Amino acid sequence: MKQSARRPVEREPDLSQDQREDLRRFADLIARILDTSFQIPGTGIRFGLDPLLGLLPGAGDAVASLIGSTILILAAKLQVPRIVLVRMSSNMAINAIVGAVPLVGDAFSVWFRSNVRNAELLRRHAAAERRPSTLQDWLFVLSLGTATLLVIIGAIVLVLWGISALWRLASGG
């Protein structure tokens, strides 16, 4: 007998409301650390580790994106709708692509706050009525995460290539 593609996959037991709230709080904590932990004295400008890590060419943006992707994983665990996962991934990709531009990207990261945006999306949509995750849901999340990671890596490689090309041009080589 043929099995339906929409059949729920084997998964851990449903999370209690307390466990779900703990995951939402953890997402908020990650967002706060990455986007709003510090304040420039005398201003209302807040920033976190994301733009600071972005000052380290290549690896810093990758580390910040990897940490920020935890919010996306938590959203999948809390079974937010796929379209929300797409929005969250888009926020991460925009931050990674623009963030890969030295200094300008770091200033953009202070303004854009992709992790705070994603934590707010998670909180808003994780409270909605849940349905069992299907194999299609997990394949979608896996492919979305892989595509996001490839975009981030591509942006970093492109920026590093640009920096090396400028270096060769400036050094006359």
Assess if residue 6 is contained within a domain.
no
Residues 79-96: pLDDT tens digits? 888 888 988 988 998 888
CA–CA separation, 162 and 50 (whole Å): 22
Locus of tokens 């990455």: 34
Specify the higher pLDDT residue, 46 or 97.
46
Assess if residue 4 is contained within a domain.
no
Assess if residue 111 is contained within a domain.
yes
Assess if residue 5 is contained within a domain.
no
Assess if residue 96 is contained within a domain.
yes
Assess if residue 41 is contained within a domain.
yes
Tell me the backbone φ, ψ of residue 22, rounded to 5 degrees: -60, -40
Assess if residue 2 is contained within a domain.
no
| pLDDT at residue 13, as a whole number | 60
Question: What total of structural domains would you count in the chain?
Answer: 1
Q: Does position 9 have pLDDT exceeding 60, yes or no? A: no
Which letter does DSSP use for residue 131 in this model?
-
Assess if residue 22 is contained within a domain.
yes
Q: What is the pTM of this model?
A: 0.71
Top-ranked range on mean pLDDT: pick from 6-10, 13-17, 71-75 = 71-75
CA–CA separation, 123 and 21 (whole Å): 9
Residues of the domain holding 62: 17-170
